[in-house]
C-alpha cells in the first residue's frame, strides 16, 4: 500500500514549523530517518520526544521506521527544553541556513527513480528475496539500508497529487537521500553495483572462480576439492570400532568424547576453508576485475591462511593417523595417540597469536565496510546465501578461530574425565597443560595490548604537563624539553612485558597546605599516582603535580569523614610533599585500599 510507505511529521512546538512527509524506510530506525529532517530544522533529537498520533507515551528512536507508515507522528519539546528548541530554530532561520530547493532535489531524484535496465531481474536471479537480514542481525541494529528499499520508497509516491505536493515531497526526500553526492558519482556507483551483481550471478550459475595460488592448499577449486584432506568421517565411532556391545558405559562415554574432538576439528577446518574458497577467492577475482578494490583482504581476514595451514598439518599428522589406525585395527580410539601433536601445541599454533591480537580490528573493519559500502554489503549478502556457508555469517567465521582455541582444553578435559587408564590420564594431562599454557600466553598478550590502548586513551586526554614553572623565558625554553610524561614507558625495575595498568580514576577535592583547595582528577596506576586538573567544559586535563611513585607514598585515612592523606617521600625517606583529598566516605575507602593494593 503506497500510503503506508510514508508518515507525516507534525511539530507541536511554540514556533510554527511546516509538517514533513518522511519515508517509512525498512531496515532503518526511526532515529536514523528523522535525523536529517531535524538537522535541516536545527532541532536536536535529544531535546524532543516523538509521539504516535494522539498517544502520550514517547516512542523509542530505535523502533523500525517502517512500522509508522501511514501514521501521524507528533514532535514535542522535552520538559525544560522548550526555549532551547525554539531559540535554535529561530537562530537557524535568522542565519538563513541553506535549504535544498525542490527543483534541485527533483533533478537528483529523477534518474534514481527510474529502474535500471535489467537490474531487478539480475538481482533476483542471483539471490531471490535479497534482503540484508543476516547483516543487520549481526550488527544488532537496523543501520544498513537496502538499495531496493530506497528505490521503492521513493518511487511509490502518489501520482495523483498536485505538482506542488510532489515538489514539496521531493524536497523532503532530499534530506533522506543526502545532498552531497553528485549525479555523476551516483551513476558510477550504480554502474559498479550492476557489474558486481552480474559477476556474482555468473559465479552462482557457472561455479566459483579458481583459487589464486596463495590460497590453493593443493586444490584447484571448491568443486574439485572433494575429500582429499580426509575430512569426511563416519556418522559415529561405533561404525569403526568392533565389539561395541561389549564395552562398558564409561568406555562408550570416553569414545564419544574422543570422537567429538575429531568431529569438531573436521567441521572447523571445513568452515575455515569456506573463507578461502568462497570469500577470499571471489574477492581476489572481483578485485582483478576492478571491483571492491578498496577492500583490504589482509585487514579483513588477518593471517587466516596460516591458521588453515596449521590445522591441515594437525589433521594430517595427528588426527588422520588416529582415525586410520582405528579403521585398520577396529580397536578403541586411544587418547595417547594425540600426545605427540598436542605437546607441541605452543609452537604449532603460533599463528593464533597474531590472529587473536588482530581479531577485534578485523571485526571493526568489517562493520565499517558493511556500514559504508553498498558493494561490500551486496557481496557479503550473496556469499552468505551460498550453500557452502551452511547459514553461517561472515562475522561467525571471523570469530571461530578464537572460539576453537578456547575449546581445546574443554574437549581434552572431557576425555580425561572419562578415562581410567593411568598412562592415558598422564598423556591427556600433559596435553591440557600444553594447550592452557599457550592460551594463557595469548590472553596475557591481549591484556597487555588492551592496557596500552587504555594508556594511549588517557594520554590523549592529557593536554599539558605543567608541574614546574620557569622564572624567565630562557628557563622556560630549557624546561620545555623535559615537561613531558610518557605513561607507555616501561615500569622501572620490571621486565618489558609488565605493562602499566590503570587501577582507579576519578574526581577528588584536593587541599594543599592550610588554605589552598581545588577540584582535581586523579589517576592511580600500577606504579604512579597522577594528579591532574580538568579543563572546563572539556574532557581533557593537565598534570599539575609531579607524578607520585606509589612505593614512596604514605597513605593514611583521616578522622575527617571522606578524607585521606598522601605523603610523598624522597630517596632519603624525607617528606617532600603532602596532599589531602576529600570525597564521599565509600569512595575514600576505595582510594585508600586501591593505593595500598598497588603498593
Q: What is the pLDDT of residue 148?
A: 41
Q: DSSP string covering 278-347, please?
A: IIIHHHHHHHHTTSSTT--HHHHHTTHHHHHHHHHHHIIIIIHHHHHHHHHH-PPP-GGGGHHHHTTHHH
Q: What are phi and psi of 536, to 5 degrees?
A: -70, 140
Whether 51 contacts 76, CB under 8 Å:
yes
Residue 110 sits in a domain whose CATH number is: 3.10.20.90
**Nearest Cα to Cα of residue 34 among 54, 11, 55:** 11
Q: What is the pLDDT of residue 357?
A: 92
The CA distance from 383 to 285, in Å, is 14
* 114 & 227 share domain: no
The count of C-alpha atoms lying within 13 angstroms of the C-alpha of 116, restricted to the half-sphere facing its C-beta, is 19
Residue 508 sits in a domain whose CATH number is: 2.30.29.30
Residue 399 sits in a domain whose CATH number is: 1.20.900.10
Asked if residue 460 belongs to a domain, the reply is no
Whether 344 contacts 102, CB under 8 Å:
no
Asked if residue 310 belongs to a domain, the reply is yes
* 420 & 478 share domain: no
Q: Which domain holds residue 109?
A: 2-126+156-178
* 409 & 484 share domain: no
* 264 & 389 share domain: yes
SS3 (DSSP) at 463 = strand
The CA distance from 590 to 584, in Å, is 10
* 284 & 415 share domain: yes
Assessment of whether the complete model's pTM goes beyond 0.85: no
Q: In terms of DSSP bridges, do strands 528-534 and 548-549 run parallel, antiparallel, or are they unpaired?
A: antiparallel
Q: What is the pLDDT of residue 185?
A: 62
- The x, y and z cell numbers of residue 545, run together, are 603535580
Asked if residue 493 belongs to a domain, the reply is yes
* 112 & 28 share domain: yes
Strand ordering across the sheet containing 20-23: 20-23, 6-11, 72-77, 48-52
* 112 & 64 share domain: yes
Q: What is the pLDDT along the chain (599 residues), one digit of tens a residue?
A: 666 678 888 888 888 888 888 888 887 888 888 988 888 888 888 888 888 877 777 887 877 787 788 888 889 888 888 888 888 888 877 764 444 433 333 333 333 333 333 433 333 333 333 333 343 333 344 333 443 443 343 333 344 444 443 344 434 443 444 444 444 666 677 888 888 988 898 888 888 887 776 666 544 333 344 444 578 888 899 999 888 888 899 999 999 999 999 999 999 999 898 898 889 889 988 998 889 999 999 999 999 989 999 999 999 999 999 999 999 999 999 999 999 889 889 999 999 999 999 999 999 999 999 999 999 999 999 999 998 888 889 999 999 999 999 999 999 999 999 999 999 999 999 999 999 999 999 998 888 888 888 888 887 777 777 777 777 877 877 877 777 777 777 787 776 667 788 888 888 888 876 767 888 888 998 888 988 888 876 678 888 888 888 888 888 888 888 888 888 888 888 888 888 888 887 888 888 888 888 88
Whether 598 contacts 524, CB under 8 Å:
yes
* 443 & 497 share domain: no
Q: What is the pLDDT of residue 405?
A: 94
The crossing angle, in degrees rounded to 10, of helices 304-314 and 249-274 is 140
* 54 & 100 share domain: yes
Asked if residue 204 belongs to a domain, the reply is no
* 545 & 499 share domain: yes
* 268 & 378 share domain: yes
- The x, y and z cell numbers of residue 308, run together, are 588453515
The CA distance from 457 to 474, in Å, is 33
The CA distance from 329 to 337, in Å, is 14
Q: In terms of DSSP bridges, do strands 541-543 and 548-549 run parallel, antiparallel, or are they unpaired?
A: unpaired
Give the total number of structural domains in the chain.
Answer: 3
* 115 & 221 share domain: no
Q: What is the pLDDT of residue 187?
A: 66
Amino acid at each position: 500500500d503506497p500510503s503506508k510507505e510514508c508518515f507525516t511529521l507534525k511539530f507541536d512546538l511554540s514556533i510554527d514549523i511546516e509538517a514533513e512527509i518522511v519515508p517509512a524506510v525498512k531496515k532503518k530506525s526511526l532515529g536514523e530517518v528523522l535525523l536529517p529532517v531535524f538537522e535541516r530544522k536545527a532541532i536536536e533529537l535529544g531535546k524532543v520526544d516523538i509521539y504516535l498520533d494522539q498517544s502520550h507515551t514517547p516512542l523509542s528512536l530505535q523502533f523500525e521506521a517502517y512500522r509508522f507508515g501511514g501514521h501521524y507522528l507528533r514532535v514535542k519539546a522535552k520538559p525544560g527544553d522548550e526555549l532551547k528548541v525554539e531559540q535554535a530554530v529561530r537562530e537557524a532561520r535568522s542565519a538563513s541556513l541553506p535549504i535544498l530547493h525542490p527543483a534541485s532535489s527533483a533533478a537528483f531524484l529523477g534518474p534514481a527513480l527510474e529502474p535500471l535496465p535489467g537490474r531487478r531481474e539480475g538481482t533476483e536471479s542471483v539471490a531471490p528475496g535479497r534482503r540484508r537480514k543476516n547483516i543487520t542481525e549481526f550488527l544488532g541494529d537496523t543501520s544498513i539500508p537496502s538499495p531496493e528499499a530506497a528505490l521503492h520508497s521513493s518511487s511509490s509516491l502518489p501520482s495523483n497529487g498536485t505538482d506542488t505536493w510532489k515538489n514539496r515531497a521531493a524536497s523532503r526526500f532530499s534530506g533522506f537521500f543526502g545532498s552531497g553526492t553528485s549525479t555523476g558519482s551516483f551513476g558510477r556507483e550504480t554502474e559498479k553495483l550492476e557489474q558486481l551483481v552480474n559477476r556474482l550471478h555468473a559465479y552462482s550459475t557457472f561455479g566459483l572462480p579458481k583459487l589464486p595460488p596463495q590460497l590453493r592448499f593443493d586444490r584447484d577449486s571448491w568443486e574439485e576439492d572433494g575429500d582429499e584432506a580426509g575430512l569426511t568421517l563416519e556418522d559415529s565411532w561405533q561404525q569403526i570400532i568392533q565389539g561395541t556391545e561389549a564395552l562398558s558405559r564409561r568406555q562408550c562415554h570416553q569414545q564419544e568424547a574422543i570422537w567429538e574432538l575429531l568431529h569438531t576439528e573436521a567441521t572447523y577446518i571445513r568452515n575455515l576453508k569456506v573463507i578461502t574458497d568462497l570469500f577470499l577467492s571471489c574477492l581476489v577475482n572481483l578485485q582483478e576485475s576492478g571491483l571492491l578494490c578498496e577492500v583490504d583482504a589482509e585487514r579483513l581476514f588477518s593471517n587466516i591462511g596460516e591458521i588453515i595451514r596449521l590445522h591441515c598439518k594437525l589433521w594430517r599428522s595427528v588426527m588422520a593417523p588416529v582415525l586410520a589406525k582405528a579403521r585398520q585395527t577396529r580397536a578403541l580410539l586411544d587418547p595417547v595417540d594425540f600426545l605427540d601433536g598436542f605437546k607441541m601445541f605452543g609452537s604449532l599454533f603460533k599463528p593464533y597469536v597474531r590472529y587473536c591480537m588482530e581479531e577485534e580490528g578485523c571485526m571493526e573493519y568489517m562493520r565499517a565496510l558493511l556500514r559504508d559500502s553498498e558493494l561490500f554489503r551486496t557481496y557479503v549478502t550473496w556469499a552468505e546465501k551460498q550453500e557452502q556457508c551452511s547459514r553461517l555469517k561472515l562475522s561467525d567465521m571471523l570469530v571461530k578461530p578464537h572460539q576453537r582455541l578456547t575449546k581445546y582444553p574443554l574437549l581434552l578435559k572431557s576425555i580425561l574425565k572419562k578415562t581410567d587408564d593411568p598412562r592415558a590420564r598422564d598423556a591427556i594431562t600433559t596435553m591440557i597443560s600444553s594447550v592452557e599454557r599457550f592460551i594463557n600466553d595469548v590472553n596475557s598478550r591481549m591484556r597487555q595490548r588492551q592496557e596500552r590502548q587504555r594508556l594511549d586513551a588517557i594520554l590523549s586526554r592529557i593536554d599539558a604537563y605543567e608541574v614546574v614553572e620557569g622564572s624567565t623565558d630562557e628557563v622556560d625554553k630549557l624546561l620545555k624539553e623535559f615537561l613531558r610524561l610518557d605513561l607507555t614507558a616501561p615500569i622501572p625495575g620490571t621486565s618489558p612485558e609488565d605493562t602499566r595498568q590503570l587501577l582507579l580514576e576519578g574526581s577528588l577535592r584536593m587541599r594543599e597546605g592550610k588554605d589552598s583547595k581545588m577540584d582535581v582528577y586523579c589517576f592511580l596506576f600500577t606504579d604512579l599516582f597522577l594528579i591532574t586538573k580538568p579543563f572546563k567544559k572539556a574532557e581533557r586535563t593537565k598534570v599539575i603535580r609531579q607524578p607520585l611513585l606509589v612505593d614512596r607514598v604514605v597513605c593514611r585515612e583521616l578522622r575527617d569523614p571522606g578524607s585521606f592523606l598522601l605523603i610523598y617521600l624522597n630517596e632519603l625517606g624525607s617528606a617532600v610533599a603532602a596532599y589531602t583529598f576529600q570525597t564521599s566516605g565509600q569512595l575514600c575507602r576505595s582510594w585508600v585500599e586501591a593505593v595500598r593494593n598497588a603498593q
